[in-house]
Amino acid sequence: MNQIQADFDRIAAFADDGWNHNNHYHGFLLKQLPPRCEQALEVGCGRGAFARLLAARSGHVTALDLSPEMIRIAREQSAAYPNLSYKVGDVMEYELPDDYFDCIASIATLHHLPLGPALLKLKAALRPGGVLLVLDLYQAESAGDWLTSLVTIPTSAALNLLKNGRAHASPAERAAWDEHGQRDVYLTLAQVRQTCAALPGARVTRHLLWRYSIIWKMPL
Ligand SMILES: C[S@@+](CC[C@H](N)C(=O)[O-])C[C@H]1O[C@@H](n2cnc3c(N)ncnc32)[C@H](O)[C@@H]1O
């Protein structure tokens, strides 16, 4: 955890508000919100871009991240959102209320944790009718995964060029991500689906840009 925190304290300095592989899916995730969202939680909020979108659609948002530097920047950028509270902490150590949240979202974060225990912890914090929204990275395994990955390479470069005016991040930013990436381990989609047995009826979907999503609604 100390190394992950150090990695993201470093990465925080590079992040900008341009298009990326995670925020490409913000619209998709927001479409899954319940019609009435009083209490929302984001786990691994980074600089708070999605937390602010949630705050515009929810009564109150709690946004948690391991990296103090990410949270410092997130707070700086969220002064206009009085219904958004940022917390620094490791979600697995953090005390979450039971049966409480209408929505819990987590983007590109759960691969840093053991997925099964993390899903069970978040499940316990959802109230009946609440939704869990996970977007994360996976390890390609099947022919379909590799084909999707192949299509993603030019798609990603083209979208980067179109939306950010450049095909790649700066060398310093790429070095920080590459170093962090050496420590990242991703589950295969088969492993994700197996782990999601703890969430009966969960929808696991493979997306472009090396991402998958889990969408699950806690039964009423
Ligand atoms: C790849 S970044 C994604 C940030 C943000 N969700 C986004 O889409 O831009 C992963 C984030 O998860 C945070 N993180 C990693 N492990 C965590 C943990 N155990 N508890 C809370 N946050 C964690 C990191 O500090 C980092 O900010």
Choose the residue to mutate in 70, 109, 135, 184 for probing ligand 1, maximizing ligand atoms within 8 Å of C-beta.
Answer: 109
Ligand 1 cavity residues, CB under 6 Å = 4, 8, 22, 43-46, 64-67, 70, 90-92, 107-109, 112-113
> Ligand 1: distance of its center to the CA of 10 in Å?
13
Which pLDDT value is given to residue 15? 64
Which pLDDT value is given to residue 181? 85
Which pLDDT value is given to residue 112? 96
Q: Which atom belonging to ligand 1 lies closest to the Cα atom of 22?
A: 8
- Is the CB of residue 156 less than 8 Å from the CB of residue 21? yes
* Secondary structure E strands in the chain: 39-43, 60-65, 84-88, 101-107, 126-137, 203-206, 211-217
Choose the residue to mutate in 52, 66, 69, 179 for probing ligand 1, maximizing ligand atoms within 8 Å of C-beta.
Answer: 66
- Is the CB of residue 30 less than 8 Å from the CB of residue 192? no
Instruction: Could you please state the CATH topology (level 3) that the domain comprising 2-142+170-217 is classified under.
Output: Rossmann fold (3.40.50)
Tell me the C-alpha distance between 134 and 216, whole Å.
9
Taking the model in full, what pTM does it have? 0.95
Per-residue model confidence as pLDDT tens for the chain (220 residues): 788 999 889 888 886 778 999 999 999 999 999 988 999 999 999 999 999 999 999 999 999 999 999 999 999 999 999 999 999 999 999 999 999 999 999 999 999 999 999 999 999 999 999 999 999 999 999 999 999 999 999 999 899 899 988 877 788 888 888 888 888 899 999 999 999 999 999 999 999 999 999 999 999 9
